[in-house]
Every structure is written in structure tokens, then in C-alpha cells.
Structure 1
Amino acid sequence: MVSPTTTSTTPSPSGPSTPSAAASALSARPETRAPSPAPSPTLRRGSSLSVPAPWTASSRLTSCSTAQRSRGQSMSETSLKGKESYPMIDSAEAAAPGRAVDDAKICLQGSLDPEKVKGKIVVCLRGTSARVAKGLTVLQAGGAAMVLANDAASGNEIIADAHLLPATHIRHSDGLTLYNYLKSAKSPEGYLEKPETILETKPAPYMAAFSSQGPNPVNPEILKPDITAPGVSVIAAFTRAMAPTELAFDERRVAFTSMSGTSMSCPHVSGLVGLLKALHPDWSPSAIKSAMMTTAIDVDNKGESILNASLAPAGPFAYGAGHVWPSRSMNPGLVYDLGPDHYLDFLCALKYNATVLSMFNGEPYKCPEKAPKIEDLNYPSITVVNLTASGAMVKRTVKNVGSPCKYKAMVRQPAGVHVTVSPDVMEFGKKGEEKTFEVKFETKNAKLAKNYAFGALIWSNGVQFVKSPIVVKTAA
């Protein structure tokens, strides 16, 4: 018996000569429009971001707290007849003549021997090929159903797909148990039936394994991604012009289907941007992004740090400022605002020439005589790279968008680094008032931060908490 628990749920300018077309387009007079939520592509390892520009809102994806869970249940719309047990086989034991066992293990097209899998539940390992494609391989070989077991990289990430045969998806730890059963049992058996939905699963959210992450490969002084939003197994409207698998021979047509990816998390962020703009029509694009980032949450529904798909702590390179919290973002208290001149000064700090600046600005722009620091861009997160023994100082300015209030700074210290804020108390007498503060970084144990250390700066009036991630890397 299979008993899975399945949890559902532009480029920045890269040099001093010519900006990318996407970066130029997305920079177009940012004070005149809402921020541009940009999905971080679904890649996997290391610094894989391709949307590092500070004028975009870069989003990753997390799971939801909804699940399909039961004993031996199918994630597809079909199930095996009744609760009759079917013979079960490891796909690696069913390699077609002339095909490598490694190909059969992950159920690549044409890798399975029909004589060995006909009428059986086939256990395929996730990886290399698409999840639905593995089920197609099993179906074409005559298999009755598929169990898709996560590889180590995919961990506990479970995704609902429009499979072509009865199929279920299990996490890596359950897969190890199942593979041990297949090896030890003389005649392994199992069954699959339709799933049921449960709510408030824990932990949630957690980061999807297949979305790209930081650090920022172009300008490491700017933390990317910015935020994360629901993007795994989201029930979404779907066109009837094609099948949910997008395969030509699949004749199924649906109005809604379960979809996953940053193409799902990005609409959540875009919708929130529209909501905030309607609620606060006088807010700039940067103020809207700041409100989303500084009110985002970096803990799950167990009150612990957001985890990755392998249930290890994820961190700001995975989720940026955290998981969006729409209701809190409507009244953030303070915002980090930016105008077009701030972005142009940022490009000046990157040593772009007058021709390129004109491309961004639409007219000539003269850089300040004293070159600005990249770290001083008034961003809702704070990143310092190559911190030396002499320390570093960055500046930020916040605008009060609430009632008159006093805010006090709290710092979640990064490992190996001491962070102080001056002033650490700010009192605002009216809405729209701005105040500037400095953040000082001192090295205490450089080794602890040589591969990045993380913390946070939180301004609070006792009711609102304006949180900025802190990212620090000491010099080699």
C-alpha cells in the first residue's frame, strides 16, 4: 500500500556600456506606473536569478497549506478500480532491452519493457524528464499506474499534475521507504484511489525546490529575490484550446487545473500590487514594493523559519523578505521610497555612460560629482558584500505613511557581524514625514560570515513591524 502525504499548495544592467532590452523596458519611468512583478525562472541550483534589477519586484514560490492526503491515493482524476491491489515494480527493474537502467529508473521515454510493467503500478524516480512525461512512458508500456518518488533534490515538494493515468506523488523520505519495500517484498503490491483535500497542513509555506534563488549574480549589493508568494499546486483558470498537459494527443479540456511555478506566484504579487495601488493611489511603485517586502513574514504556520523542500532552513536567498502578507501590507507604517533619480544614481554608481543613461531616462542625465554607493540605494533590504575589518556604513530613508508615531529599531544580528543603527529611535509628527538613519557593520568573526550571514532590521511602534532583511558577506 502506498500512503503518501502530498502537500499542495529583467535582467539588471550588466555592464557599463549597453543595458539589456528587458532591463531598459522594465525601467521605463518607474514613477509613472506600478512595480513590475517578475517571476524568478524555475531553475535549480546556486545563484540562478535572471531578474536582478532593483526596479522589478522579483518573486519566488512557496507551497500552500492545502493538501491531498490519504492511503494510496491518485493525484490524477482517475483511480484504479475499487481497492484491489495491483502488482508493483521499481522501474529500474523493468528496463527495456538495450536501454540503460539509469534511464528506466527515471522513466525516460521508451526505457521500460512492456512485458515487465504491463498491468502493474510502476515506481518512477523524479528528475531529468517532466513529471507527466514519466507517466506517459508508463502508460505507453502498458503500466496500470505510476508512483512518482522524489529524488533527494526535490525533497518533500509534492506537486499535483494532470496525469494521463492513475498516479500519485510522494516525498523523498516516503520514496526511500517504498523502494526498501520493493526490494524486500517477494510480491510487492499497492493500490491508488482518488484523493481527498485537507486544510491547514504543517509546515506551510515552504519553498519550492524548482525555483531560482539568490544571491544576485549582477549586483550582489541588491538582495534578490524580493519576496515569495503561493506558487505550488494552485488551482488556476485554464484555456480550453489545449489539454492541461499541453500534449497534442491529449483530448481532455478543462476550465481549471492545478498549476505550479513562478507563473503562479507572480499573479499573486501582481494582484496585491493592484490592490495596494487602488487603496493608496498616491503611493509610488517603490512604496508599494516596500510595503509588500517590509510586512512579509519569514516564519511558517508552526512559528519556525520558512524551510526549503528538504525541510532545512531556507533563508533570504530563497524567499527574499519573506512570504507576502496582503492584509499587513495595506498599512505598513513606514516605507522605503525611491524615485527615478535614485535609480539613475544607482546606474551612475555602476559607471554607466551618458548614452546609456539617456536610454533609461529618455533625456540626458548628469551623475552626481561624488559617486553614490550602490549599498545606499534606498532599498527595503540591506546587503553588504566584502565587509572588511574597517567595517561599513549604509544609509536609508523611511517615510511615514501612517499616523504620528515613535519607532524603535531592533536588530536580529547576523552571525559573526555586529550591526548598530543610529538613531535607533525615530519619532514622526505627521504623515509623509521622512527621516534618515545609518546602519553600521562591524566584523566580529569574519569566518562566520565569509559565505554570507543573515539578520534583520525591524522598526516597530509596538503595533507595526517594518522588517528589512540584512545580508552580509565578509571579504575573503
Structure 2
Amino acid sequence: MLNVQPDIAAPGVDILAAWIGNDTAAAPEGKDPPLFNVISGTSMACPHVSGMAAAVKSRNPTWSPSAIRSAIMTTATQTNNLRAPITTETGSAATPYDFGAGEIGITGPLQPGLVYETTTIDYLNFLCYYGYDNSTIKTIARTIPKGFVCPMNPSTDSISDINYPSIAISKISVKGSRKVNRSLTNVAGDDEPVYTVSIEAPAGINVKVVPDKLQFTDIGQKLSYQVIFSPVKQLDKDVFGSITWSNGKYKVRSPFVLSS
């Protein structure tokens, strides 16, 4: 089983924030509680992400929630404010299990270049792959496209084909390979329409992307690619890597994890 990983991380330690003053211990005797306090936790990280999502939506009002999520994830950073790798609270090296795609950026999500759009069919297929049949899905989903039926013999391996900004592969065999499909949508309309791929692969895994170049001609155009994972030895631990598409102006990064 794959560990549950987050999509994104955001600043959440020692954040100066408005404070509903009911903490009388924080106020001098006879004084009202403070209106501001320095607080830590997910309650501090969530507003950063929510605010960024709202900013992206205001700049791009027609974007879907999945496009906004993609913009935030693919432009995240994997280094801290000292330009060093992100670490856990114990000081050890953090992994995507700790921070997902990385820590949220400020300007990158507003202009991501390309986005991964997760469609209704993707979500319905997820239910199929998870084991629900057509009749059960009809009781869950509000709307189902006409003619939709679950793929024949769906498997949990097929979940990896959901058009998500990250990739997770479970129990890959050293004797075979695993193919994953993805589709990107051009949202930039840039003068540099050709994106080339770069791969950060862990030791013991060959990773190939086909094609290795994507040439967009119009805003809103969608192009697809396939990632082929081939282990050269049996994994004895979970490993991590990334796939990044760039045209020299934008970098669209997708992390991946392969479980042992």
C-alpha cells in the first residue's frame, strides 16, 4: 500500500495572525487579550493555500478546481527559505510523503504555463478502479456522461492513469514495466510553445517519457504523453523522483513515488 501523501505544503510555523481574544493568560492583568498572536499548525497553513487558490481563480475565473490545484502543485518549491532542501521537524530530509509537491509559491501558480485538468470521467474511473460497479456509481455521482460504463476488468494499477499532477505507483515488478498516461493543457499562449521534458529518476529505476517534446499551437490545446517506469532491481524501499516540462519560461513539475 502507498502511504497517503499531501498535495502541497504551506508555511504554518510561528505565523502572526489575527486572534479572537479569549486567552486571558496571554494578557497582562487587567488588560484585554491581544488581537494578534503567533500561532503554528495546519490552521495557519490552510489560509495560505486558500488565499492562493482564490488569487488564481480571480486571475483565471474560468479555471476548474483541478486546474487551480495543478497550478499550485506544479509550481511548488522543494527548498526552504535558506535555499536548502526542506526537512522534517526532526531535521531529517523531507520527502513527498511530508510535503507533497513541495511548498506553495507566491507568483508561480498565477502563471503555470500548463495545467493538468482532472475530468468527470477521471473521477468516475477512479470509483471503478476502487471497486464500485456501475449501479453503485450511479447512486454516488450527481451526473454521469451519457454512455459511461466502467472499463472492463479495472485494477488498482489503472488508478495511476487519473490525470493528476503527481504520479503514484504501487508494487512495481522488476520483471516488467508500468505505463502511465497524462494530458497537459496549454494556458499560457506563450511565444515559446515547445516544452521539453527533464527527468529526475531514483537509482534502480529507468524512466522514459514519450514523446519527450510537446509543441502547443493554441491556448486551451491539450497534448498527451506517456511515462514508462522500468525497475532494474527490486525495490526495498519507497523511492521518489519527478518529471518537469519546461519551455525556458515556465517549469511544470510533477513528483512521482514508487512503493516497494
Pairwise same-fold verdict (TM > 0.5): yes
Partner residue of 1:397 out of 183, 186, 205: 183
1:363 Cα offset (Å):
4.8
Looking at CA atoms only, which structure, 1 or 2, has the larger radius of gyration?
Answer: 1
Q: Distance in 1 between matches of 2:37 and 2:135?
A: 47
Q: Deviations over 1:183-230 (max 9, x none)?
A: xxxxxxxxxxxxxxxxxxxxxxxxxxxxxxx821xxxxxxx2000001
1:351 Cα offset (Å):
1.3
**Structure 2 unaligned blocks of 5 or more:** none
Q: Distance in 2 between matches of 1:445 and 1:369?
A: 31
Alignment of 1:143-292 (within 5 A): 215-216=3-4, 224-240=5-21, 242-243=22-23, 253-292=33-72
- Structure 1 counterpart of 2:150, which letter? P
2:218 is matched with which residue? 430
Q: Distance in 1 between matches of 2:139 and 2:55?
A: 31
2:162 is matched with which residue? 377
1:245 Cα offset (Å):
6.3
Q: TM-score, with normalisation over the residues of structure 2?
A: 0.89
2:228 is matched with which residue? 440
- Structure 2 counterpart of 1:378, which letter? N
2:132 pairs with 1:333: no
Q: Distance in 1 between matches of 2:36 and 2:82?
A: 31
Q: TM-score, with normalisation over the residues of structure 1?
A: 0.50
- Larger relative contact order (C-alpha < 8 A, sep ≥ 6)? 2
2:149 pairs with 1:367: yes
**Structure 1 unaligned blocks of 5 or more:** 1-46, 48-213, 217-223
1:386 Cα offset (Å):
0.3
- Structure 1 counterpart of 2:248, which letter? G
1:463 Cα offset (Å):
1.5
Q: Deviations over 1:26-76 (max 9, x none)?
A: xxxxxxxxxxxxxxxxxxxxx9xxxxxxxxxxxxxxxxxxxxxxxxxxxxx
Question: Structure 1 residues 368 and 326, CA, compared in 2 at 3 Å: closer, same or farther?
Answer: same
Q: Distance in 2 between matches of 1:289 and 1:363?
A: 22
Q: Distance in 2 between matches of 1:234 and 1:244?
A: 20
1:239 Cα offset (Å):
1.3
Q: Distance in 2 between matches of 1:244 and 1:435?
A: 58
Question: Structure 1 residues 244 and 338, CA, compared in 2 at 3 Å: closer, same or farther?
Answer: farther
| Native 8 Å contact 1:354 1:364 kept in 2 | no
How many aligned residue pairs are there?
Answer: 250
Name the SS of the counterpart of 1:235 in structure 2. strand
- Structure 2 counterpart of 1:470, which letter? F
1:307 Cα offset (Å):
1.1
1:393 Cα offset (Å):
0.6
1:258 Cα offset (Å):
1.2
Name the SS of the counterpart of 2:259 in structure 1. strand
Q: Distance in 2 between matches of 1:259 and 1:245?
A: 15
Q: Distance in 2 between matches of 1:332 and 1:245?
A: 45
Question: Structure 1 residues 442 and 276, CA, compared in 2 at 3 Å: closer, same or farther?
Answer: same
2:98 pairs with 1:318: yes
- Structure 2 counterpart of 1:295, which letter? T
Q: Distance in 1 between matches of 2:151 and 2:100?
A: 33
Q: Distance in 1 between matches of 2:163 and 2:143?
A: 23
- Structure 1 counterpart of 2:198, which letter? M
Q: Deviations over 1:315-341 (max 9, x none)?
A: 110000000002011110110001222
- Structure 2 counterpart of 1:253, which letter? P
1:251 Cα offset (Å):
7.8
**Deviates most, 227-236 or 299-308:** 299-308
Percent of aligned positions with the same letter in both sequences? 35
Question: Structure 1 residues 438 and 363, CA, compared in 2 at 3 Å: closer, same or farther?
Answer: closer
Q: Deviations over 1:412-440 (max 9, x none)?
A: 01222111100001100111110110000
1:344 is matched with which residue? 124
Name the SS of the counterpart of 2:112 in structure 1. coil
Question: Structure 1 residues 307 and 428, CA, compared in 2 at 3 Å: closer, same or farther?
Answer: same
